Structure 1
């Protein structure tokens, strides 16, 4: 624990046997972190973007100062390159199953061993934007007893997600927060320059999730597929999952 300083973003290289590479993790302990209290854990795929563009740790501290949310630790999972991000985060990515396994079987045990955490599914949150939102949802659907809460900012959706929803055996344990922008009907992808429509498939995903026995919040916001808009939603996202009136089961 001594290598991690509260109140700053600590970067480490985490060796993953499953992905056969070092994963860059950013770990943020709140400024009032103490091992005397247990903390929820928020895993963020596209972690560098959540910290750098979303400033999620600053939003968290402001909401904590306002007594609106409870204690949490943030763990950001970085991608190496745009190409590898697609391989490791896309629903059809060649290495996406390994990414999900690495989170559940390597990163989570390390975090639970190193810090004072709630070791239950509803004490763990997985967040992601765009492709990172896809792998966040896949993680929860594959390991619903391990991670039961997911926040998705404009995720990429295809039939692979449908299959995982159908196969998920503990859907009633899940809590999903899902948003997409009204300007995402026809926009240019920043990574490839290609035109894309995320609004239509996200509306389809919305209908599928609504038909399931899942606790679910869905919203369409004014804006597009950029952190300029997603950043403004982080207050609502954190309050939804970290509001102090949320009680734990089996904690």
Structure 2
């Protein structure tokens, strides 16, 4: 049985029937974790990047020490390869629906059974950058009563996400924190080197969310499609969803 220590990142191999593979999960329990109190749950797609490049857990502990955020557990979902990431995270990826199923029907129940957590949709938060942001949105749009809070950094907006937004039932439950960089008008894709525009589609995504009366916190920042730009926004993201003003 895996031993989880507060203040430490523990990586496990989680068997997923939905994806037909073991998923690397990195689980971080806050330094003050105790079974006596319930915790919010933050699931990060591209979890290794959020911990390594974003230093998300360290930013959280700094805010926690200042009494600016509530108790939370962090779960990082890792991809295997760049190609697998596209298949599992891209809106048109052949395995994207399986990823949604794995998170909703396998990973979340495991977290809720293993740790002291709130068992309500607005205490569960999905984070993601780029393609990981796309699958975070798709998961919440598919199951808004299970995951109603989503923080995304420059997600890739493509069909069928527009259909998911328009057809989503209970979309009034959603609360989406959404940012994109002004330098993302011209971005070279790391896999192909081709030039892509992330800024315009993200503006279209925001307009579609507003049109469908989805609660959004939208911002265009001075920066590009990279962690050097994103990591400076994470404290704001954490405060937005973990403010002590919200109680259960």
Normalised by the size of structure 1, how large is the TM-score?
0.97
Provide the C-alpha distance between the structure 2 equivalents of 1:93 and 1:158, rounded to a whole number of angstroms: 11
Partner of 2:241: 241
| SS of residue in 2 equivalent to 1:202 | helix
Q: Give 1:79-158 correspondences, 5 Å limit.
A: 79-158=79-158
Partner of 2:29: 29
Provide the C-alpha distance between the structure 2 equivalents of 1:202 and 1:215, rounded to a whole number of angstroms: 16
Q: Which has the larger displacement, 134-143 or 156-165?
A: 156-165
Q: Give 1:154-233 correspondences, 5 Å limit.
A: 154-233=154-233
Provide the C-alpha distance between the structure 1 equivalents of 2:213 and 2:154, rounded to a whole number of angstroms: 22
Partner of 1:20: 20
| SS of residue in 1 equivalent to 2:216 | strand
Provide the C-alpha distance between the structure 2 equivalents of 1:48 and 1:124, rounded to a whole number of angstroms: 19
- Cα offset for 1:192? 2.7
Q: Which has the larger displacement, 192-201 or 29-38?
A: 192-201
Normalised by the size of structure 2, how large is the TM-score?
0.98
1:213-247: CA deviation from partner (whole Å, max 9, x where unpaired): 22210000000000001000001100000001013
- Cα offset for 1:2? 6.2
Provide the C-alpha distance between the structure 1 equivalents of 2:198 and 2:165, rounded to a whole number of angstroms: 19
The answer as to 2:49 corresponding to 1:57 is no
Structure 1 runs (4+) greater than 4 angstroms displaced = none
| SS of residue in 1 equivalent to 2:126 | strand
Provide the C-alpha distance between the structure 1 equivalents of 2:60 and 2:230, rounded to a whole number of angstroms: 15
Provide the C-alpha distance between the structure 1 equivalents of 2:153 and 2:192, rounded to a whole number of angstroms: 19
Q: CA RMSD in A?
A: 0.9
In the alignment, structure 1 segments of 5+ residues that lack a partner are none
Partner of 1:77: 77
Provide the C-alpha distance between the structure 2 equivalents of 1:61 and 1:45, rounded to a whole number of angstroms: 20
Provide the C-alpha distance between the structure 1 equivalents of 2:54 and 2:193, rounded to a whole number of angstroms: 22
